[in-house]
Amino acid sequence: MSRQISGAILISGSPGLRHEVSRRRRSAIDKSRAQFLLSSGLEYFIETWYSGKMWASLRGHPQFDSLVRTRRKHSNITDLSKVLADSSVGRQKSLWEDLKDLKKPLLIVTGEKDVKFREISEQMCSEIRKHREREADCRDRQELCEMMVVPESGHAVHVENPLPLVRAIRKFLLKLHKT
């Protein structure tokens, strides 16, 4: 019995950077961040990392201090630095062109306050629907891509407002299993 993927869920994610120049720039930035981690130490890196715009709403969350305490317990900054550089979105292939080939339902979840990733999510759904509209047998193009904006949360949806996220995932999975 072979198992097939019946759908996917993307939380605060993207299909990567569209252009090679953007990927090279981002890869260089992430290499620089990795070097900064090694040269400045974990404490200062964490302080700098979470001061970024993407984490603004998380900084005001009651769990933020606990999350930072947990992050400070990483004992191997060499490995952490390597992960940061090696998993850079700049090193990943752009998947924007692959969206046209999507055949299984996709739930894209983003935080209400995460403007950048909310826009990326809207663009993804638009791309998927645009390509699906061209197909003659596509009566379910709206169902192929769903977008859920979680209220009162930013990029760290799972921390900032987990209950709506859990409900959205549950609803999506139940719908997948009905088909």
What does the pLDDT look like over 111-162, one tens digit per residue? 999 999 999 999 999 999 887 665 544 545 557 899 999 999 999 999 999 9
The torsion angles phi and psi of 98, rounded to 5 degrees, stand at: -75, -15
How far apart (Å, rounded) are the C-alpha atoms in residues 150 and 164?
6
- Report residue 8: phi and psi, to 5°: -145, 155
Q: Which helix (H) or strand (E) holds 76?
A: none
Enter the pTM of the model. 0.86
**Residue 84 burial class via C-beta count within 10 angstroms: exposed 0-12, middle 13-18, buried 19 and up:** buried
In which residue are the tokens 């046209």 written? 100
More confident site: 177 or 111: 111
pLDDT at 166 over 80: yes
The per-residue pLDDT of the chain, averaged, comes to 91
Per-residue pLDDT at 2: 46
